[in-house]
Structure 1
């Protein structure tokens, strides 16, 4: 049933605890002269979506901007464009351009790995700095400025051939891409959750894979027509600028009523809790994953070019990574909802290990494309699954755990390309570093499956948590399907089945059955 909009005098609340604000009508409107007041929901303990009725203009009946029907899709599309620009192009376009740079400069494998590591070091610094808060100015200003910086550093890569300048540009490009990711979460994901459309987060994260696919097509077409490596960087940066123009319109300045509401915990500051064995193992596994995926995603185009049997697949191998990455968040979220986030994380790591190993053993174009699809179809999803699981396992302030996870992941990313480049100089190929990466992914899967059977006594999480708070958390994590399933079970009186479903998905301690 459609929720009813209640009108009360300003400064008062209705029986549901809704606070009110005054709404002015159009000149000449009879209702405007009678001082109509509309209630706005402001739950102080959790983020709850506004009802569709409460988002409508009480005078005209039309939706307030942003529209409940169009604004969430517009925001998700803007977020996807932003991740395509900053991550798919700004962060990962180096991979398809690298073979052209290696031949045109020339560039050794060791230096190529060092340049990649500089970018990932910048990403680590940017992710940690952006998540600390306290930055002056609005989030949207930082968001758009970071996108502009990503475009500028990308274009500037084509203006030099000096290693030191490459390192600086890729470092600052990494900082910019991390800032875009951090502020996109605040501007897009939180608003999607508050409007009850958290399921659109899959479209938002599809931007990473879509950007990779776009960069693959761009480099393949231009490179195939004789463009130099410098011109490939110019074209990539200009593409980012074009996306920035669209993003500026698609992601408007957030309205106050759609802003996040601090919980009592965040207002007073939560104390740090003791980290469980499960969380510590997850942190290590996340670092191993960072090391395991980054070698292949950095050098797969070079591997394809250097292997005569695979040359004809060079134009499509990076495209396969992107096309597989685009829907991966949606697919693995469904698998996580069915089998639990821990099993999904482990399964994705094992699938990626197969892809990493296959990337250096494939002897046909079809096999290298399969390897690319396995890597592309898992690495974005593992990133999200790991952070979701860390948030669930945290007994204290989740920001501390997420910061440690980011540091572990970033360290693995920084070490991976540098390590692979050095081993390539020693052995002449990428087999040894790729096998090391595959082993690290298998170890990561094993670590997260070593579940602790006992619950820490100091854990504040109750056996059956408050549903409103848990519902808000699930929506913020893009688990709209799970929320619908639980609410259906609750409505039908199946509370025990609902608890079992939550346990199965890792949101309650105890056996799954």
Structure 2
């Protein structure tokens, strides 16, 4: 069975979409839900914090509530796919993210914004888990290019990061302090345009992965790997929540902020080539450990200096590794479990990651409020990522008894 034939096709019956093009289209859900819906908040955060008189804890809470939604969405993802189907899970999740962006533009009320961030998390998880599992099947149909094809999906958020990085800082500079809501409108329009291609392909499946897949996945053999992914969730989100504020505090204007954020986004595009051989390592958690270690190095660099070159290096090193960590967990699932277990296994990984990123922003925000410097946030971020790398290094391959239904 060719996945590109049975999962998503051009509306023209005489022409089947190329798997790479299919996966790039599916990745637009992650572009909207994660690249813009989650990460663009960091670009608007400094202006929102100043205008709405938030503490760092309150600012962190907005990403924590987003992560709570993401966690809840991941917990429900398999059942949602079973109930409404692949197409509705991916498209509906993306539309929920789009609605949440519009709500962010309409109000400065803390609780209404919290609701918007919660909905964005729910929608992003539905689209991401469904899209990731579907991508794994499409990739499996081309085993010689599987890791490259997987990486294409996980590079999707980079498009959103790059685009929002080019829009938000200059919009804020042009309209001045208090114009954060205008940025949200601009991002809403951008996301609406990016959602359209998801409705121009057919997404269908004759295989219901959700059916009976729970019995084929056991947590115990991968507990240390889940712990590593938890550390990644907690560590990366601190960097991605507060780094723009750090760049601004260091004297970086709109151009510096756009360049920094843009470099993280652009780095996603080299991920498929840069990590291809590492992602092919079928040796337990080794691939994840190598990539997470690189991620930790990128997060640690700003601690040592705030020159333009130094911050740019941090953005590139962090960005190249950041997107690949998620890809490495999907490769790990693909190597160690049968296809029927993939949605459940990916959801388990996403839940562990989700718990980490739920705790990360608010804890780091509280530390920053207490100690008075964002440099502590970066210290915590780098340390958590390094711990995650060490934990992943200890994960061995999952034995056959754990990987068969």
Q: Sort the TM-score into its range (normalised by shorter chain).
A: 0.7 to 0.9
Q: CA RMSD in A?
A: 3.3
Following superposition, the deviation at residue 134 of structure 1 comes to 5.9
Change (3 A) 1:145 1:397: closer
Q: Select which of 214, 217, 235 maps to 2:186.
A: 235
Following superposition, the deviation at residue 429 of structure 1 comes to 1.2
Normalising to structure 1: TM-score of the pair?
0.69
| Structure (1 or 2) with the larger CA radius of gyration | 1
- How does 1:80-91 map onto structure 2 within 5 Å? 80-91=27-38
150-159 or 330-339, which moves further after superposition?
Answer: 330-339
Taking the aligned partners of 1:456 and 1:201, their CA distance within structure 2 comes to 23
Q: Select which of 46, 49, 52 maps to 2:2.
A: 49
Q: Cα deviation per residue 1:150-205 (whole Å; 9 max; x = unaligned)?
A: 11110111211121111111011111111121232355553454477744343333
Change (3 A) 1:328 1:460: closer
Q: Select which of 271, 274, 277 maps to 1:331.
A: 274
Matched, 1:65 2:18: no
Taking the aligned partners of 2:114 and 2:102, their CA distance within structure 1 comes to 14
- How does 1:350-389 map onto structure 2 within 5 Å? 350-389=293-332
Taking the aligned partners of 1:205 and 1:51, their CA distance within structure 2 comes to 18
Query: Residue 291 of structure 1 corresponds to which residue in structure 2?
Result: 234
Change (3 A) 1:66 1:218: farther
Checking the alignment, whether the CA contact within 8 Å between 1:310 and 1:368 is kept in structure 2 is: no
Taking the aligned partners of 1:338 and 1:186, their CA distance within structure 2 comes to 20
Query: Residue 225 of structure 1 corresponds to which residue in structure 2?
Result: 174
Following superposition, the deviation at residue 295 of structure 1 comes to 0.3
Query: Residue 360 of structure 2 corresponds to which residue in structure 1?
Result: 416
Following superposition, the deviation at residue 450 of structure 1 comes to 2.5
Taking the aligned partners of 1:451 and 1:188, their CA distance within structure 2 comes to 24
Checking the alignment, whether the CA contact within 8 Å between 2:65 and 2:117 is kept in structure 1 is: yes
Change (3 A) 1:139 1:339: closer
2:93 counterpart SS class: helix
Taking the aligned partners of 2:198 and 2:263, their CA distance within structure 1 comes to 25
Query: Residue 203 of structure 1 corresponds to which residue in structure 2?
Result: 152
- The structure where helix makes up a greater share of residues is 2
Structure 1: runs of 5 or more not aligned: 1-47, 53-63, 462-513
Checking the alignment, whether the CA contact within 8 Å between 1:208 and 1:326 is kept in structure 2 is: no
Query: Residue 12 of structure 1 corresponds to which residue in structure 2?
Result: none
Change (3 A) 1:183 1:103: same
Change (3 A) 1:79 1:456: closer
Checking the alignment, whether the CA contact within 8 Å between 2:216 and 2:402 is kept in structure 1 is: no
Matched, 1:275 2:225: no
2:220 counterpart SS class: coil
Q: Cα deviation per residue 1:241-276 (whole Å; 9 max; x = unaligned)?
A: 111223311x2243xxxx34469x966974565733
2:245 counterpart SS class: helix
Matched, 1:430 2:374: yes
Taking the aligned partners of 1:51 and 1:114, their CA distance within structure 2 comes to 40
Aligned length: 396
Following superposition, the deviation at residue 71 of structure 1 comes to 4.2
Taking the aligned partners of 1:183 and 1:397, their CA distance within structure 2 comes to 13
Taking the aligned partners of 1:171 and 1:51, their CA distance within structure 2 comes to 33
Taking the aligned partners of 1:268 and 1:153, their CA distance within structure 2 comes to 31
Q: Select which of 248, 262, 285 maps to 1:342.
A: 285
Checking the alignment, whether the CA contact within 8 Å between 1:192 and 1:200 is kept in structure 2 is: yes
Change (3 A) 1:260 1:200: farther
Whose RCO is larger (CA < 8 A, sep 6+)?
Answer: 2
Change (3 A) 1:129 1:354: same
Checking the alignment, whether the CA contact within 8 Å between 1:282 and 1:448 is kept in structure 2 is: yes
Change (3 A) 1:275 1:189: closer
- How does 1:8-407 map onto structure 2 within 5 Å? 48-49=1-2, 65=13, 67-68=15-16, 70-133=17-80, 136-185=83-132, 189-191=136-138, 193-194=140-141, 198=146, 199-226=148-175, 228-249=179-200, 251-254=201-204, 259-261=205-207, 270=215, 273=218, 275-276=220-221, 279-308=222-251, 313-337=256-280, 340=283, 342-390=285-333, 392-393=335-336, 400-407=344-351
1:252 counterpart SS class: strand
Change (3 A) 1:375 1:260: farther
Normalising to structure 2: TM-score of the pair?
0.86
Taking the aligned partners of 1:361 and 1:310, their CA distance within structure 2 comes to 20
Query: Residue 9 of structure 2 corresponds to which residue in structure 1?
Result: none
Checking the alignment, whether the CA contact within 8 Å between 2:29 and 2:195 is kept in structure 1 is: yes
Taking the aligned partners of 2:357 and 2:64, their CA distance within structure 1 comes to 7
